[in-house]
Amino acid sequence: MLRLICFFALAVSFSDCTKAQRLIPQKKVIKLMGCGFELTAIAKTDTLAWEAINAGINEISRIEKLISSWDKNSQTSAINRAAGLEAVIVEKELFDLIYRAKKISKLTQGAFDISFASMDKIWKFDGSMKRMPSDKFVKAAAAKINWENIILNKDNHSVFLKEKGMKIGFGAIGKGYAANRALSIMKQMPIQGALVNASGDLISWGSNSKGNKWSVQIADPKDKNKSLAWLELKNMAVVTSGDYERFVKFDGKRYAHIIDPRTGYPTTGIKSVTVVCPDAEVADALATSVFVLGITKGLSLVNGLNGVECLIITDEDELLSSTNLNLNYY
């Protein structure tokens, strides 16, 4: 579950100092939503920086309680328990998140689908799977995936999963949403800059401790300790999909933890996808989508969207980028 490994892909640099300003950076690393979060605030005093960081942490904890499908007391679990039985009235915030997730499903022709979660009894990416599951089981569980069977009623904010056995999960969008929300709370406080990094899902605002733009390093896939390129960020999100620790290998083939909803099988061929755009939730959902769509369709989707760029690393360590991605190479 820990995705701290993604820190190697995106490590923040505080080194590019040109202007001298008395700004204090404070940083907190904390486990939330089952992964490592790093919250940084830049302020004129320690107290102001810590107040912003703590407000960001409270916001992420609040969202975790709402959207977790592991916590049986969450509204998401209530929706899953009622699959095929009845609609569940939920908070508008959760309703809206599901509405936006369905919009991404439509945009990606179902490559992104929060109802992928019916597969989570079949595929386990924690090292416990010893053999390939039977095709019959995979197909039966995959038949339950269908974002169009997530029925939303905006009049009473209810959510109904039409078929028994359906399940939703926010693994591919929740951290991006939480990072957005935490940053938006922190921004309202008297600070000069902030950065929220959810194990590689990162969003920045304002300036770093030197008063400059934030800078993000892209690691060399061949040597995770080396940086291959960097990019400057101003109020931007950079989200990486592709957890180098979460995969299964059968007959020498590597299966990533992202499921292709059309087949029920994990995707192959791509090691990681990084999406850059102003919104961490959109970047998170699109990074997962590009994984499923594959190189050609994925790049074509991103190239057709304004203000969105991406970088794909293939299983062969080949780097492919969208048309206008501005990477600075060393």
Cα 268 to Cα 20: distance, rounded to the nearest angstrom: 47
State the nearest-atom distance from the C-beta of 192 to ligand AMP, in Å: 29
DSSP state of 259: B
Beta strands in 129-169 (DSSP E): 150-153, 158-161
* CA gap 203, 209 in Å, rounded: 16
Residue 279 as a binder of ligand AMP (CB under 6 A): the answer is no
**Binding flag, residue 288, Mg ion (CB under 5 A):** yes
Q: Is 114 in the site for ligand AMP (CB under 6 A)?
A: yes
Binding to ligand AMP by residue 302, rule CB under 6 A? no
Closest to 52 measured CA to CA, from 213, 211, 185, 203:
185
Q: Which backbone phi and psi does 315 adopt, to 5 degrees?
A: -60, -25
Among 113, 220, 279, 281, binds ligand AMP (CB under 6 A): 113
Minimum distance from residue 290 beta carbon to ligand AMP (Å): 9
Q: Please give the single-letter amino acid code of residue 328.
A: N
Q: CB within 8 A of 100, min separation 6: which ones?
A: 173, 281
Tell me: does residue 243 bind Mg ion (CB under 5 A). no
Based on CB atoms, which residue is closest to ligand AMP, 243 or 279?
Answer: 243
Per CB under 5 A, does 267 bind Mg ion? no
Residue of the chain from 56, 261, 264, 298 that contacts ligand AMP (CB under 6 A): 261
3 vs 213 by CB, closer to ligand AMP:
3
According to the binding rule CB under 5 A, does residue 105 interact with Mg ion? Answer: no
Contacts with ligand AMP in 15-74 (CB under 6 A)? none
Residue among 209, 241, 272, 322 that touches ligand AMP (CB under 6 A): 241
User: 41 vs 258, which CB is nearer to Mg ion?
Assistant: 258
- For 270-308, give one letter per residue: b (16+ CB within 10 A) or e: bbbbbbbbebbbbbbbbbbbbbbbbeeebbebbeeeeeb
Helical (H) or strand (E) element with 57: helix 46-67
Q: Do the beta carbons of residue 92 and residue 84 sit within 8 Å?
A: no
Contact partner at residue 43 from ligand AMP, Mg ion, none, CB < 5 to 8 Å by partner kind: none
Indicate whether 258 belongs to the interface with ligand AMP (CB under 6 A): yes
Binding site for ligand AMP (CB under 6 A): 112-114, 116, 169, 171-172, 241, 243, 257-259, 261, 284, 287-288, 292
Binding site for Mg ion (CB under 5 A): 172, 241, 284, 287-288
